[in-house]
């Protein structure tokens, strides 16, 4: 199995999982509104598809960072509380771990807190 195939399989595993569900190990209560949960799942899964496409076609860290920025910004139109925004950031950190991207270049901090640390 090639490195690309391995990354894609891991991203597909993340995509197939239930997201925004209660997770006691993360002290995350989950989203109770099923319609909202389904919509946020769809947005995150679409973002994962974007990463898979870039992996298949070759991408550098700048392109992956742009995908992170595009991905988190698609959640801006929702009135999400801090807990949901943190969970979204954790999903993008999982993606970063899978693709071995060391830094979002401050994108996650800027989206979460309005500034980079």
CATH number at residue 91: 1.20.1480.40
| pTM of the predicted model as reported, rounded to 2 decimal places | 0.94
Assigned domain for 26 exists: no
In a domain, 2, yes or no: no
What pLDDT is recorded for position 115? Answer: 82
- Tally of domains in the chain: 1
Domain that holds residue 70: 31-113
Asked if the structure places residue 36 within a domain, the reply is: yes
Question: For residue 52, what is the DSSP state?
Answer: H
Q: What is the pLDDT of residue 10?
A: 98
10 in a domain, yes or no?
no
Give all strands (DSSP E) within the chain, no chain letters. Answer: none
CB neighbour burial string for 75-102, b if at least 16 within 10 angstroms, e if fewer: beeeebeeebbebbbebbeebbebbebe
Query: For residue 63, is it within any domain?
Result: yes
How high is the mean pLDDT in each 10-residue block of the chain (117 residues)?
93 96 93 96 98 96 98 96 96 98 97 85
Any domain includes 13: no
4 within some domain:
no
Task: Supply φ then ψ for residue 30, to 5 degrees.
Answer: 85, 175
Residue 21 placed within a domain: no
């Amino acid at each position: 199995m090639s490195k690309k195939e391995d990354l894609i399989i891991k991203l597909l595993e993340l995509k197939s999982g239930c997201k925004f569900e209660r997770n006691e190990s993360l002290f995350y209560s989950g989203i109770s509104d099923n319609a909202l949960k389904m919509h946020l799942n769809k947005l995150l899964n679409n973002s994962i598809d974007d990463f898979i496409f870039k992996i298949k076609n070759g991408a550098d860290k700048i392109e992956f960072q742009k995908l992170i920025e595009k991905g988190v910004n698609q959640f801006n139109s929702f009135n999400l509380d801090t807990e949901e925004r943190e969970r979204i950031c954790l999903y993008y950190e999982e993606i970063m771990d899978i693709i071995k991207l060391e830094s979002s270049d401050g994108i996650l901090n800027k989206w979460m807190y309005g500034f980079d640390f």
